[in-house]
A and B are shown apart, each in its own frame.
Chain A
Amino acid sequence: MGFQTPLYQKHLDAGARIVDFGGWDMPIQYQSLIEEHHAVRQHAGVFDVSHMTIVDVDGPDARRWLQYLLANDVDKLDVTGRALYSAMLNEQGGVVDDLIVYRREVGYRLVVNCGTREKDLRWMNQHASGWQVQIQERPELAILAVHGPESIDKVCALLAPALAERVRALGNFRSLEDGSWFIARTGYTGERGLELMLPGNEAPALWDALLQAGVRPIGLGARDTLRLEAGMNLYGHDMDESVLPLAANMEQTIAWEPATRDFIGRAAVEQQRAAQREGHLPILTGLVLEERGVLREGLRVVCKVNGQPAEGIITSGTFSPTLKHSIALARIPALATDCQVDLRGKLTPVRVVKPNFVRFGKKVFE
């Protein structure tokens, strides 16, 4: 038996199939992954993501320390509540983890992956010596993600009117706090929605109220197809410590300016930028297969670079329930042409597209 979130019994009650996910007993799906996927694209769904790790960072040096720890720059968080996506790099420029950091009234809140929890905490603590920061994990908090075109209305209908009004006014990548509740307009689906962090013992009542309001429970299976349609990376699959952010479609998340800001991994990543400009670094890009078949993680991509044979690999692949054909993220040479995927021994041509397939329920690539 693994770790269980405060909603474990609720998942069983909703008919979930439970799987091990990074040491946690989590719902992979309830009835149908595809129906759950459509519920989020068309209406509203709720995910229990309490397995993810919340880390609060506080203290006089919190801002300067995060500017050193993260490749993106928390100085961009000009107002309380604003959120930022960032990589945390090692000295070689490899991705230790990806995370969201929120600016709070006092200090910052980070949400990191569950599979990297111990490594991340060790890394943070190891790099905190000499800085006046407090790093505090918040395991007592649950996280519910409610996403879909109807999600914000459904959540707001359950909140006190004054709070509901504040939540409706939230812009994308903004958050607010109300007592022990933290509510953010962030997520991992490509739809509008909220992530609610709240004391674990209050989570089951919120879960019940959402389900009663017609919000469907969504398992990790649909969470993966939704994030892949949205072209969002999954740590440990699309990037890890052996991959530079430049080769993981994360260049936009690196704050190069001010040039004087020294962050861990900066020298290594800068050194690779020239190679990238010349097309020598691989890229993480989107693949589309419009005929029958499913692109899967680990499959070989056979291609050409300047007429010479070359190779890449699929880092995440699935059937897209919205598009009704297969899509994938793949790491291939920057100058690759004539891409084909080895599907059960048959080389099948695939189209290379920008790694963003579906936003707000609609196809977004050409």
Chain B
Amino acid sequence: MSSFPDNLKYAATHEWVRVEADGSVTVGITDHAQELLGDIVFIDLPTDGASVSAKQEISVVESVKAASDIYAPVSGRIIAINKALIDSPEIVNTSPYGDGWFCRIQPADAAELNALMDADAYAKICE
């Protein structure tokens, strides 16, 4: 069964967001998303320092089976990317909410976070 941690917020396009103490957000893809994709073999990471708008395509994940776009859950600036995923994309399969994070975004408008789902609402759309 997929896991849906309560401390995260979720986008319908299967990204998760964790709000950090400094107001930035960490972004990754959900356990459900990695399960659907299967073994991940390449990740094109977001561009460090780029300004992005919510729902803009920021990354591409290729698994053995399929390619999938990853979207920015909120608008803002990308302030960190997880370079470990370049050589070890399979980390996303084993630790989607931990070491498999994609990037951190400094949100332009924290109110945009309210548009995201909580764990229960997201779990429902994954049924």
Interface residues of A (CB under 8 A from B): 29, 32-34, 221, 225, 292-294, 296, 318-319, 321, 344
Contacts and interface: CB of A to CB of B under 8 A. Distances in A.
B104 to A, nearest CB: 23
B38 A294 contact: no
Interface string B41-79: 110100000000000000010101101000000000000
Nearest to B44: A292
A45 B8 CA distance: 39
Given A293-B62, A319-B62, A34 B39 contact: yes
B82 interface: no
A327 to B, nearest CB: 12
Contacts of B62: 293-294, 319
B69 to A, nearest CB: 9
B64 A221 contact: yes
Contacts of A221: 38, 64-65
B64 A344 contact: no
B93 interface: yes
A166 to B, nearest CB: 38
B31 to A, nearest CB: 14
Given A32-B38, A34-B39, A34-B64, 5 more contacts: A32-B39, A292-B44, A296-B67, A319-B41, A321-B64
Nearest to A219: B38
A32 B93 contact: yes
Contacts of A292: 42, 44
B39 A344 contact: no
A29 B35 CA distance: 11
Contacts of B44: 292
Given A293-B62, A294-B62, A319-B62, A33 B67 contact: no
B60 A294 contact: no
Contacts of A319: 41-42, 62, 64
B67 A318 contact: no
A274 B64 CA distance: 39
Contact of A33 (B42, B60, B64): B64
Q: Which 6 A-B pairs have the closest CB atoms?
A: A34-B39, A319-B41, A294-B62, A292-B42, A33-B39, A319-B64
Given A33-B64, A225-B64, A294 B42 contact: yes
25 contacts: A29-B38, A32-B93, A33-B38, A33-B65, A34-B39, A34-B41, A34-B64, A34-B90, A221-B38, A221-B65, A225-B64, A292-B42, A292-B44, A293-B62, A294-B42, A294-B64, A294-B67, A296-B67, A318-B64, A319-B42, A319-B62, A319-B64, A321-B64, A344-B60, A344-B67
A298 B67 CA distance: 13
A321 B65 CA distance: 12
A138 B93 CA distance: 41
A57 to B, nearest CB: 37
Interface string B73-100: 0000000000000000010010000000
A314 to B, nearest CB: 13
Nearest to A32: B39
Contacts of B64: 33-34, 221, 225, 294, 318-319, 321
A184 B59 CA distance: 47
A24 to B, nearest CB: 19
Contacts of A29: 38
A293 B39 contact: no
A293 B65 contact: no
A319 to B, nearest CB: 5
Nearest to A325: B41
Nearest to A321: B64
A294 B41 contact: yes
Contacts of B93: 32
Contacts of B39: 32-34
A293 B44 CA distance: 9
A226 to B, nearest CB: 12
A319 B62 CA distance: 9
Nearest to B94: A32
Nearest to B67: A294
Nearest to B42: A292
